[in-house]
A and B are shown apart, each in its own frame.
Chain A
Amino acid sequence: MSTTTATSLPASGLLRFATAGAVDDGKSTLIGRLLHDSRSLLADQLDAVRQASLERGDEHLDLAMLTDGLRAEREQGITIDVAHRYFETARRAFIIADTPGHAQYTRNMVTGASTADLAIVLADARHGLTEQSHRHAVLAGLLRVRHVVLAVNKMDLAGYDRSVFERIAEDFGDRAERIGLGAVTAIPIAALHGDNVVDPSPAMPWYEGPTLLEHLETVATRTADDGPLRLPVQYVIRAVGGYTGCAGQLAAGVAMEGQEMLHLPSGTRTRIAALDSPDGPVRHAAAPLSVTVRLADDVEVHRGDLLCAVESPPVASDRLDATVCWMSAGRAMKPGSRLLLKHTTKTVRATVTDLHHRLDVTTLRREPADELALNDIGGAGLRLDEPVHCDPYAHNRFTGGGVLIDESTNATVAAVMIDRATTVDEGAPRAAR
């Protein structure tokens, strides 16, 4: 087989974005409009919507019907769970994580945002920013979604008034700084009629920025080399002829043939003797590709180990401070709760040692709390039965994120974003990195 190169994944290709908005902000209509005006809908899908709209007695085409996939959603006219939708234009392909707006579905927003490069936060031009807009912005910030679009919708009902848009955009901008959001782009739209969604709006000549679709098509996505090498060992492949390969998906960085690297937890320094992509041998490969690494030295490797850059290894720790989004309706998180933490390819036992605070996502105040209930977000200390190799979530989503699992029900009960690893070896906790 010829040796090929699978390195950087350029900025175009694929953009994943999450949409969030309160119940009547018109999120489903916006997605419907985006699909409709970019000609991503086919005749039978439109017919189905037409039929459903007629049955409900709607006079116009209810584009929201396109996205509500479950019976209960259509009956109740709301979105219950995350749905994923796909469309493409000549410039880029898109995966939409369509997340419900209700406060009680915070966990779904967190789920959708965890893989998103961009989040669209909708606001109704007549009402300005609401508690839900704030909540969504905070979640996008916590999840470190790189780009945020504030879509000020229903501009038609606000007389296409420039000052209305600018006031909301300014409000949002002030807040975005406080919650550490990165780039924010505000766009005035009217999803029902299609203004500035795909086509520029003749009703808002004062707006000179991109339409929503133009922005989605051109915004920069992740770059390949966004940190030092991290390869969680997922599966050890053994085959006849003594072949032993460490298979996994690169969580960061570039792996190169001949490169020196560190095996954890052993601390052994070794080299990449050979690198296989799904298509065969390659000289180098970048995150997020799945690869198989063969090591130069005879190192004992297991699932749950980590291969990483020699010069900047992650911290190994059995004590973590983390931001937790609690996702279980059946049980609350309290100090003393025993759970499982799934982190990269490793699952360990975890005990909640402290609950530092609960975050009021509207006021951004940290309040004392003795438990986290469904959809609560808070800070907690976790103690693990064996160390994990982790980075702060702010540095790496994959080595900094985790989920908590309830061992008695096997349910996934929380999303975990590691703030810092603390070690206890020298008697006193110390912050890592």
Chain B
Amino acid sequence: MPEADRLAVLEAEAVHVLREVAAELDRPALLFSGGKDSAVLLRLAEKAFRPAPIPFPVLHVDTGHNFDEVIEFRDRRVGELGVRLVVGSVQDSIDAGRVAEPAGRWPSRNRAQTVTLLDTIAEHGFDALFGGARRDEERARAKERVLSFRDAFGQWDPRNQRPELWNLYNGRVRPGEHVRAFPLSNWTERDVWAYVERDGIELPSLYFAHMRKVFERDGMLLADSRFVDRSPEEALVERSVRFRTVGDMTCTGAVPSRAGTVAEVIAEIAATPVTERGQTRADDRAGAAAMEDRKREGYF
């Protein structure tokens, strides 16, 4: 497989989308969670405009339940690139009474993120948000446009999307509305890792095998943290694990792994019998349309 060529084409498309949105919209921002997809997206933004600096800020919606390694990585990358970091804090939204602290066995703040995200968009007047979402992640994502229009309430209407033809994207919005732009739409998990390898992109250490205290819940390995209450049956064990996705600590599962390098991770993914989100995201298990429902509300 001539992988370099495929990656070159995907890169060219992603760069095209980044430049197009930067050219046509007034106030874009790039959603950066510290995860592998947004790390790749940030690298592409760097490449699309150089030698000029990235012409928009980076936005992180911080659930307050992040892995320490991710926050450290976020701050370091942003510092290296000299881009402005805007943080929207879910904790602040909870404290301000904008959203309730989730309760229950899976007290994920993922859904609460939507409120913080939309408040932050309004506060800063962003009219475009780049995201690292891929259409291979989930079947509702498979339906999404590269430039996805959101109304004044941040809502996505899957039945009324703008047709996208050739490489022409319609990013026109009225005040208060915005677009979500997904330059990695056509990338797969494997493409992202191949690009990480080709470009030597640094990722948080979570993505590689390390010893960590975990416990099992509904077949998923969760990291021990002060954000999750364990029941007495949920015993802590120390295992060699890594993370395939990076999100809220309360709903992001680890996988048993000995893969310590990018090449070993790629080999492991090639052999795994389970998808990325199926293996590691509790928030998608809430029903067959969990992602679709969150996205309709404005979730990224």
Contacts and interface: CB of A to CB of B under 8 A. Distances in A.
Given A14-B6, A14-B9, A234-B16, A45 B166 contact: no
Nearest to A81: B143
A410 B172 contact: yes
12 contacts: A10-B2, A48-B278, A48-B288, A69-B142, A74-B289, A115-B166, A243-B51, A247-B48, A249-B12, A290-B15, A290-B19, A402-B168
B158 A234 contact: no
Nearest to B174: A410
Contact of A401 (B8, B12, B166, B293): B166
B163 A415 contact: yes
A327 B163 contact: yes
A279 B20 contact: no
Interface stretch (A83-91, A263-271, A310-318): A83-91
Interface in B136-152: 136, 139-140, 142-143, 149
A97 to B, nearest CB: 10
Interface stretch (B25-33, B254-262, B269-277): B269-277
Nearest to A14: B6
Interface residues of A, number: 69
B166 A398 contact: yes
A403 interface: yes
A403 B221 CA distance: 48
A80 B159 contact: yes
Contacts of B274: 42-44
Contacts of B22: 235
Given A234-B23, A239-B52, A91 B165 contact: no
Contacts of A238: 52
B233 interface: no
A235 to B, nearest CB: 4
Contacts of B140: 69-70
A83 B8 contact: no
Contacts of B293: 71
Among B19, B135, B164, B278: residue with most chain A CB under 10 A = B19
Interface string A222-249: 0000000000001101111101000111
A42 B186 CA distance: 19
Contacts of B12: 249, 278, 288-290
Interface string A249-284: 100000000000000000000000000001100000
B8 A289 contact: yes
Given A69-B143, A239-B51, A13 B292 contact: no
B10 to A, nearest CB: 8
Contacts of B190: 88
A10 B5 contact: yes
Nearest to B15: A290
Contacts of A398: 166-167
Interface in B39-58: 44, 47-52
Nearest to A73: B143
B188 A74 contact: no
A111 B19 contact: no
B159 A84 contact: no
A12 interface: yes
B6 to A, nearest CB: 5
Among B11, B12, B48, B162: residue with most chain A CB under 10 A = B12
A397 interface: yes
Interface string B165-178: 11110101110000
B96 interface: no
Contacts of A93: 1, 6, 188
B165 A111 contact: yes
A337 interface: no
A412 B162 CA distance: 6
A36 interface: no
A283 to B, nearest CB: 15
Contacts of B173: 410
Among B166, B188, B273: residue with most chain A CB under 10 A = B166
B295 to A, nearest CB: 11
